[in-house]
Amino acid sequence: MARRVTVSAGEAPKRLDIFLSTHAAGLSRAAAQRLIEQGVVTVNGRPAKPSLKIKPGDAIEWDIPQPTPLEIVGEPIPLEILFEDEHLLILNKSAGLVAHPAPGHWSGTLVNALLHHFRTEGTGGLASIGGRERPGLVHRLDKGTSGVMVIAKTDAAHQGLSKQFKAHTIHRVYLALVRGAVKGKMGRVELAIGRDTKDRKKFSARTASPRDAVTEFQVVERFGAKRSGDEATLVEVHPRTGRTHQIRVHLVSLGHPVLGDETYGGRKVCAIGDLAIERPMLHARTLGFTHPATGKSLEYTVPPPADMEELLGMLRHASLPK
């Protein structure tokens, strides 16, 4: 259903995508940008860009289009499902699984796996509001990150969950194994980040579009000796905001990149001792939120995957290959 809003006299100048995300219930800024780019948002009767600065008196109209048939096909990729009902699905994503189709990964993704699951099990479908390539995805984990994710099966569930992510009321706990000895027992990083001005695949404080980001952490376990050069620290991480690559960027800003994270730490973090580390040692351990339909509190916790547990075990027993 089409909606129309006239910008009030007291509205401060802001970008169109920001304005739309605050006036359309459950619509994230990223989703607002996609709608604008699809041409279904007009300002004073004309299509506009996400960056357009709105002003008092502007008439803004938008319409969330009906779902179009997905061109993405289901694939029989194993899923570890923790919970499922007619509104949502919670799963433990394996490391190495890309969340959604994109250039370089048009198949073999989590979305492909979900489409196959719903078709074969007859348990519903995916919310359309996330777009054709990201149906049902309210949030995502990077390819190399494992752990708990929630998937929306209806547009209403997607909107309800998006609102909680936007309000930062989602309870999220990560485990990160980082290089070096983290000082103190706990800490807090407040560093605005955005897409890096020199490398569009990375995020950093060197950006033209900084967005506030806050991460808190506490030390869980320390490994190695300073004289060996093989120090590592296991930290429990609590992201208070949800920016892309936030945890990885904030930890490297402290001088403690995630082990295995070549993108932000270089080759030096892809081994400890003589042991190669093939992916970032980052795990989304806990996810808690309010069920958007029932109002019930849900929280799921999963242990780290086998490769991370094996590395932790070797560090604990000081049995790194010499």
287-316 pLDDT, tens digit per residue, is 999 999 999 999 999 999 999 999 999 998
Q: Are residues 115 and 34 in the same domain?
A: no
Q: Which helix (H) or strand (E) holds 235?
A: strand 232-239
Q: Are residues 283 and 182 in the same domain?
A: yes
Of the residues 142, 155, 230, 307, only one is catalytic, namely: 142
Rounded to the nearest integer, the mean pLDDT of the chain is 88
What CATH number corresponds to the domain at position 16? 3.10.290.10
Distance separating alpha carbons of residues 23 and 41, to the nearest angstrom: 13
24: number of CA atoms within 13 Å, CB side?
Answer: 28
Residue after which a domain boundary falls, among 12, 32, 62: 62
Q: How confident is the model at residue 123 (pLDDT cuts 50, 70, 90)?
A: low
Residue 60: strand, helix, or coil? strand
Q: Are residues 176 and 278 in the same domain?
A: yes
What integer pLDDT is reported at residue 148 of this predicted model? Answer: 98
Q: Are residues 138 and 178 in the same domain?
A: no
274 is catalytic: no
Q: How confident is the model at residue 130 (pLDDT cuts 50, 70, 90)?
A: low
What integer pLDDT is reported at residue 225 of this predicted model? Answer: 63
Percent of the chain with pLDDT over 90: 59
Residue after which a domain boundary falls, among 133, 166, 199: 166
Query: Considering its fold, how many domains does the chain have in total?
Result: 3
Q: Name the residue with tokens 């069920």.
A: 291
Distance separating alpha carbons of residues 320 and 322, to the nearest angstrom: 6
The amino acid sitting at 10 is G
Residue after which a domain boundary falls, among 166, 181, 213: 166
CA distances 206 to 195, 199, 260, 266, Å, are: 8, 10, 23, 18
Task: Let me know if residue 133 belongs to a domain.
Answer: yes
Q: Are residues 241 and 143 in the same domain?
A: no
**3-state DSSP percent of the chain in helix, strand and coil, to 5:** 20, 30, 50
Kindly report the pTM of this predicted structure: 0.76
What CATH number corresponds to the domain at position 114? 3.30.2350.10
Q: Are residues 244 and 146 in the same domain?
A: no
Q: Are residues 175 and 287 in the same domain?
A: yes
pLDDT (tens digit, 9 = 90+) per residue, 1-31? 578 888 988 888 889 988 888 777 667 788 8
Residues spanned by the domain of 242: 171-297
Task: Let me know if residue 272 belongs to a domain.
Answer: yes
Q: Are residues 204 and 284 in the same domain?
A: yes
Task: Let me know if residue 69 belongs to a domain.
Answer: no
Both structure tokens of 238: 């609590």
CA distances 275 to 8, 259, 321, Å, are: 61, 11, 7
Distance separating alpha carbons of residues 173 and 284, to the nearest angstrom: 6
Q: Are residues 152 and 230 in the same domain?
A: no
